Amino acid sequence: MSYKGIIFDLDGVICSTDEYHYQAWKALADRLGIPFDRERNNLLRGVSRMQSLEIILEKSDKAYSEEEKAAFAEEKNTLYRQLLGQMSTKDLSDDVKDTLQALRAQGLKLAIGSSSKNTPFILERIGLGDFFDAVADGNCITRSKPDPEVFLKAAEFIGENPGDCLVVEDAHAGVEAARGGGFDCAAMGDAKEDPRATYHLEKFSDLLKYV
């Protein structure tokens, strides 16, 4: 299949911010005495900050007000951004950097489709602030993955139809979003074995076999 555009999830695909999400949510959950581990953390991949908090609070025996929930989400995001602040261009792997350059050299349009409202900050930290042709993120959508909105926005921003674009994802919610929007999907990481994916990647550079 020859694609015209590739839309990348950010967290867990371009960089390993998924580890920082885990650490920040874990600190909050521990403070509140709520059980939370890496397996449960996988349920948060690709879903919005507030939906992530709701999933964590399912294991709490206390009911919290909307104000308390907003404060918890803010507390987590403050810690998460402190961790992001330590990131640098060293946090962009050679495998990802070289593959992105190779895809660009093939003339493909390259976009980000991420649920994260911290996307501009993260891209800046890892030296990709100006790299992508378009960025669709948590700041420009009303429904997060598994809704296809963020990928449809990214396709619209690069002026291509979903059928001409490939989405790269590490989350089951993201694979569902991509397929629901009419995109082919290359899955890696936590979602690598997802049967709905079009391709299954061992590593990011495996993408070059399919485009």
Considering the complex, state which of residue 78 and residue 106 has its C-beta at the smaller distance from ligand B16.
Answer: 78
Task: Tell the smallest beta-carbon distance from residue 2 to ligand B16 (Å).
Answer: 26
Count of chain residues binding ligand B16 (CB under 6 A): 20
Of 11, 137, 184, 194, catalytic: 11
E-assigned strand segments in 30-171: 109-113, 134-136, 165-169
Catalytic, 18? Answer no
Site string for Mg ion, 128-167 (x = CB under 5 A): ----------------------------------------
117 binds ligand B16 (CB under 6 A): yes
Q: What angle do CA 126, 79, 27 make, to 5 degrees?
A: 125
99 binds ligand B16 (CB under 6 A): no
The two three-digit tokens of residue 208, written as one number:
């070059």
Catalytic, 9? Answer yes
Count of chain residues binding Mg ion (CB under 5 A): 5
Task: Tell the smallest beta-carbon distance from residue 100 to ligand B16 (Å).
Answer: 16
15 binds Mg ion (CB under 5 A): no
How is 88-100 classified by DSSP, letter by letter? -GGGS-HHHHHHH
Among 110, 136, 171, 191, binds ligand B16 (CB under 6 A): 171
Nearest-10 Cα torsion for 41, 208, 8, 76: 30
- Sequence-distant (6+) residues with CB within 8 A of 66 are none
Site string for ligand B16, 61-80 (x = CB under 6 A): ----------------x---
> Whose CB is nearest to Mg ion?
12
24 binds ligand B16 (CB under 6 A): no
The enclosing H or E element of 200 equals: strand 199-200
- What does the alpha-carbon distance between residue 174 and residue 201 come to, in Å, rounded to a whole number? 15
> Whose CB is nearest to ligand B16?
114
Closest CA to 15 of 157, 105, 128, 101: 128
- Sequence-distant (6+) residues with CB within 8 A of 99 are 204, 205, 207, 208
138 binds ligand B16 (CB under 6 A): yes
Interface residues with Mg ion (CB under 5 A)? Answer: 9, 11-12, 170-171
Active site residue ranges: 9, 11
